[in-house]
A = this chain, B = another copy of it.
Amino acid sequence: MSTVRGAAKRVTAAKRTVAEVLVAARGHLTADEITSAVQRERPEVSPSTIYRILEEFEELELVVHAHLGQPAAVYHLAGVVHGHLTCEVCQRTVEIPSSHFDALSRELLARYGFQLDRHHLALSGRCRDCRNARAGVVTPREATT
């Protein structure tokens, strides 16, 4: 009865498990990865439920998602704001401090009235390893971390 904005949210096993997974991972997970992790504990939980839970968590501002240049979005706990650098070649992503965007952010606001969201989209480019590697063929995902 003590619901906010008419939305009576319930605490369920699936939600608790999703939260646990996100806390344990401490990184970026796709919905599919979250689903797999949750299903290790609760095999019945379906992907659609995961999407619905993630959506709810985002409304509650517990979670944010980002698009890193790959088809699947990634989710992580809302916390310290940070940016993402994603390598176009090996697809690895690193987080960088939000402060790198300070100057650019001010510039865009002043010049275009545009309020930068440092989280939502990654910066694309080539990481050190892939720059060094010869132009052509580089094995994507040769390292997982």
Query: CB within 8 Å of B: which residues of A?
Result: 67, 69, 85-88, 94, 96, 100-101, 103-104, 107-108, 112-117, 119-128, 131
Contacts and interface: CB of A to CB of B under 8 A. Distances in A.
Copies per complex of this chain = 2
Contact of A127 (B101, B114, B122): B114
A125 B108 contact: yes
Given A67-B67, A69-B121, A120-B88, A114 B126 contact: yes
A124 B124 CA distance: 13
Majority-rule SS of A interface residues: mixed
Nearest to A130: B115
A114 B127 CA distance: 5
B100 A127 contact: no
B100 A114 contact: no
6 closest A-B pairs (Cβ-Cβ)?
A: A113-B128, A120-B124, A121-B124, A116-B125, A117-B125, A115-B126
Of A117, A119, A121, A128, most buried by chain B (CB within 10 Å of CB) is: A121
